[in-house]
Structure 1
């Protein structure tokens, strides 16, 4: 084996990627983490729902994790964007923007997703501050206040049905078709109000303005952005990619193996449910599976 070949290269140094690196590091495997520094939750001030870290700034959680990971002598870290990947089992190559290339026996893709937000004036500026996606992450802090849900498709009904546990909820259809009658009945039973008008602007902290001029002051807003993979590497390697209700996702089996032998994927790029806690657990299992592959495959 070429001494310049890493046991594993992990692309993505956020929560899932670092967690995947940890079991490999503890097995004293030589690994490289390549990170572009664009955590998906970089827009928020506090991360919630991760036991032991609840309410901390997400950047602080990530910084502590990186410091702990780099205590292991076999871990190397490079800041930069991986732009190309190729190769096959036991002989993969990952290249950076500057042309530098790294060889690996296994690849772990923890490359994340990018949120494609609804094209509504004022929404992007409030993303992660008063406009959110996950009620489990951000609903509690609204203190049972007024919550608006802006539909971007069928998942709007799903969000609206969840959110009454966190506050008084209004579903803004924003030009989308009304839900089926059974869904309307379920929404009504949950106390959800439905507004059919088109949203043209978000004003103030979280005021929803409709095209007809009506204004609905909210304490927080939830919406479901379309998600696309943040990196082309999975496609370049030939990994199967699914088009889900949430957007693009790298297809993996129950052991986080992609359709390409020797390539694993974890974190937001592989599943609909997304949070720091989920990413950490998902990444750790992926790293352990990749380590076993180095022994048994």
Structure 2
């Protein structure tokens, strides 16, 4: 049976879009691999009404609620190809099953690619973090590090300074300009030159940031901005335009989350410069509205 929409990615954006479309009695299939971006974080914060729950718990509740809508179907797997045009797409799952659909929503998110520093990845989502608004409060103040990974890292350090005593590890990046140095000083951020060679200590305790000089500096938490990479190649395969964001390439969309390809929409971290659970959910709602209206008016004018 042809679907009104196939949603590729069952995270917060994808499920929010499915909720809108399911309530409009549209036939929707959600294809999800079960590997959400925030699976490394034990708790989610900044989500109104769900503070402190894990992302997995919130998603499970959402899936259980969506199961009450008879036109919404879940498929476990990876969407590995999508071909066709508006009103006549086909999406293939895991190399064999193919589902026809009128619309596609790309909501599979991004991959976080961290600097290749021993000890960093093991702490990701625990004491190595990316967003102070999500995790800063729980640090409880004290010594916090920011490791420079791109030109915006100095700005990140000035923001993180509201949550503790910050050291910016320049990590071989060029020293900030005079205006930025003045702002860092105003915000009480210390600069530590030298390349970071390792993060040492137990994964759930204060860590030692080891420099090439041999010097070690103890911090309670470390913020690092990863490079973001779109998951999979479906956006490129379908011909969707991409655009630059401060963290990497994202899918270009309009206000209703339509991409440059008719019938293809994108929402969540793969279509936002900055994101969290709330913003991804809102993105999905907008995509759901956009898809529904495109289907409704297409039917009205057919």
TM-score range, shorter chain: over 0.9
CA deviations over 1:213-239 (Å, ceiling 9, x no partner)? 111111100011100001211111000
Cα distance in 2, alignment partners of residues 138 and 145 from structure 1: 14
Q: CA deviation at 1:253?
A: 1.1
Q: 5 Å matches for 1:1-297?
A: 4-204=1-201, 205=205, 206-297=207-298
* Contact 2:80/2:95, CA 8 A, preserved across alignment: no
Give the secondary structure class of the aligned counterpart of 1:49.
coil
Aligned residue for 1:153, secondary structure, equals coil
CA distance in 2 between counterparts of 1:221 and 1:248 reads 25
TM-aligned CA deviation for residue 244 of structure 1: 2.5
What TM-score results when the alignment is normalised by the length of structure 1? 0.97
User: Post-superposition shift, 1:57?
Assistant: 1.2
Tell me how far apart the structure 1 counterparts of residues 252 and 282 of structure 2 sit (CA, whole Å): 18
Regions of 4+ moved over 6 Å: none
Provide the rounded CA distance (Å) in 2 between the counterparts of 1:105 and 1:132. 39
Q: Which runs of 5+ in 2 are unaligned?
A: none
Would you say the 8 A contact 2:256–2:289 is kept in 1?
no
> Structure 1 CA distance, aligned partners of 2:118 and 2:254?
39
**Under a length normalisation based on structure 2, what TM-score does the superposition of the two structures give?**
0.96
Q: CA deviation at 1:67?
A: 0.5
Unaligned runs of 5+ in 1: none
Q: Deviations over 1:29-86 (max 9, x none)?
A: 0110000111000001000000000110111111001100111000111000001011
Task: Tell me the CA shift for residue 124 of structure 1.
Answer: 0.4
Q: Displacement of 1:245 after TM fit?
A: 2.0
Please state whether the residue corresponding to 2:262 is helix, strand or coil: coil
Structure-2 separation of matches of 1:179 and 1:253: 34
The Cα RMSD (Å) is 0.8
Rounded to whole Å, the distance in 2 between the matches of 1:98 and 1:86 is 13
Distance in 2 of aligned mates of 1:272 and 1:222: 18
